[in-house]
C-alpha cells in the first residue's frame, strides 16, 4: 500500500546502494569486521524502490532480509565490494555508499588456519589500507559528467559538522550524510545531518525507514535536471 501511494520521485533512476560491514580475512576461520548492522542501507534500498527506482544492493555480511523488489549481491571484503560496485556503477544513476567499509585489511591472509605453537607467542598482524571505494566512484567519468549522483555517509564520534564538511570535499560528493550519534550502530532509530554545497540540514531522530524515505526525497530534489 505504501508503495502504491509513494510519489515516484525516483522513477527511471537506477540506484546502487552499498550496505553493511566488510569482512577482512586473517585466515580461513578469522577476520576483521565492524559493528555495522546494514539497517540504514537496507532501509534506503526499500525506500528507493517505493519511490519507483530500479535498486541494486551490494551487501556485506549481514543477516537482514532483502527488501521486496530489490536486487541483492552479497560480498565479503572491501576488495570484493569494490569490484561489484565498480561494475554496477557503470549503469547506475545514483550511488549511495552506506557501507561501513573496513579501512584496513591484513596485509596477507594465510590459506591455512594460524595455530598456536605452544610457546605463548602471539601472531603479529600487518595491515594495508583498503581503497576508498566512494572517492574512486565519485571521481569516475560518469560521476564527473553528472550522470551518476554520489552520496556518502559519515560516522563520527565528535565534531560531526566539521568532519562531515571536510569529508564531503575529500570524497568529491555533492551530498554527505552524517550519522548523528551516539551509538547508531544496530539501532532502529537514527538522526541524520545532510551536508551539501548549500550548508547543513538535520533530519530529526526517527525510525531508520522513515529517515530513509526522507533521504530519498532529499536526494531526488538534488538530482541534476
Q: Which residues bind ligand CTP (CB under 6 A)?
A: 78, 97, 99, 101, 103, 130, 132-134, 152-155, 167, 171
Which grid coordinates belong to 150? 554520489
Nearest-approach distance from CB 131 to ligand CTP, in angstroms: 6
Nearest-approach distance from CB 35 to Ca ion, in angstroms: 13
Give 78 or 143: the residue with its C-beta nearer to Ca ion. Answer: 78
Q: Is 95 annotated as a binding residue?
A: no
Q: Is 147 annotated as a binding residue?
A: no
Q: Is 174 annotated as a binding residue?
A: no
CA triple 106-107-108, angle to 5 deg = 90
Which residues have a catalytic role annotated? 34
Is residue 58 within 8 A of residue 96, CB to CB? The reply is no
Give 164 or 209: the residue with its C-beta nearer to ligand CTP. Answer: 164
Q: E strands within the chain? A: 14-19, 24-27, 30-32, 54-59, 71-74, 94-97, 104-106, 127-129, 149-155, 175-179, 189-196, 199-207
Give 133 or 209: the residue with its C-beta nearer to ligand CTP. Answer: 133
Q: Is 196 annotated as a binding residue?
A: no
Nearest-approach distance from CB 65 to ligand CTP, in angstroms: 22
What span, in angstroms and rounded, lies between the C-alpha atoms of 178 and 171? 14
Q: How many angstroms separate the Cα of 9 from the Cα of each of 87, 91, 164?
A: 25, 19, 26
Give 52 or 152: the residue with its C-beta nearer to Ca ion. Answer: 152
Task: Please identify the residue of the shown chain whose CB is closest to the bound Ca ion.
Answer: 103
Write the interaction track for Ca ion spanning residues 74-103; mark x where CB under 5 A is met and - where it is not.
-----------------------------x
Q: Is 103 annotated as a binding residue?
A: yes
Nearest-approach distance from CB 7 to ligand CTP, in angstroms: 26
Q: Is 208 annotated as a binding residue?
A: no
Which grid coordinates belong to 140? 569516475
Binding to Ca ion (CB under 5 A) within 98-127 occurs at 103
Q: Which residues 6+ apart lie within 8 Å of 106 measured at CB? A: 24, 25, 26, 32, 125, 126, 127, 128
> Is the peptide bond between 225 and the residue preceding it cis, with omega within 30 degrees of 0?
no
CA triple 153-128-60, angle to 5 deg = 45
Nearest-approach distance from CB 137 to ligand CTP, in angstroms: 8
Give 78 or 180: the residue with its C-beta nearer to ligand CTP. Answer: 78
Supply φ then ψ for residue 126, to 5 degrees.
-110, 145
List residues forming the annotated binding site for CTP: 103, 113, 131-134, 153, 167, 171
Residues lying near Ca ion in the complex (CB under 5 A) are found at 103
Amino acid at each position: 500500500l505504501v508503495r502504491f501511494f509513494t510519489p515516484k520521485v525516483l522513477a527511471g533512476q537506477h540506484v546502487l546502494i552499498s550496505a553493511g560491514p566488510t569482512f577482512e580475512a586473517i585466515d580461513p576461520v578469522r577476520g576483521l569486521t565492524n559493528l555495522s548492522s546494514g539497517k540504514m542501507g537496507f532501509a534506503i534500498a526499500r525506500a528507493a524502490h517505493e519511490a519507483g527506482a530500479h535498486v541494486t544492493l551490494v551487501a556485506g555480511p549481514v543477516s537482514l532480509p532483502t527488501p521486496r523488489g530489490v536486487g541483492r549481491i552479497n560480498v565479503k571484503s572491501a576488495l570484493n565490494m569494490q569490484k561489484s560496485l565498480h561494475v554496477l556503477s557503470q549503469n547506475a544513476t545514483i550511488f549511495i555508499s552506506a557501507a561501513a567499509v573496513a579501512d584496513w585489511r591484513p596485509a596477507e591472509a594465510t590459506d591455512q588456519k594460524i595455530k598456536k605453537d605452544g610457546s605463548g607467542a602471539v601472531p603479529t598482524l600487518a595491515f594495508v589500507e583498503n581503497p576508498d571505494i566512494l572517492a574512486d566512484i565519485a571521481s569516475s567519468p560518469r560521476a564527473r559528467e553528472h550522470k551518476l549522483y554520489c552520496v556518502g555517509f559519515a560516522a563520527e564520534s565528535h565534531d560531526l559538522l566539521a568532519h562531515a564538511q571536510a569529508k564531503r570535499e575529500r570524497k568529491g560528493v555533492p551530498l554527505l550524510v552524517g550519522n548523528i550519534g551516539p551509538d547508531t550502530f544496530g539501532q532502529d532509530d537514527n538522526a541524520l545531518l545532510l551536508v551539501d554545497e548549500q550548508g547543513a540540514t538535520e533530519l530529526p531522530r526517527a525510525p531508520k525507514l522513515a529517515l530513509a524515505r526522507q533521504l530519498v526525497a532529499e536526494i531526488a530534489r538534488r538530482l541534476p535536471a
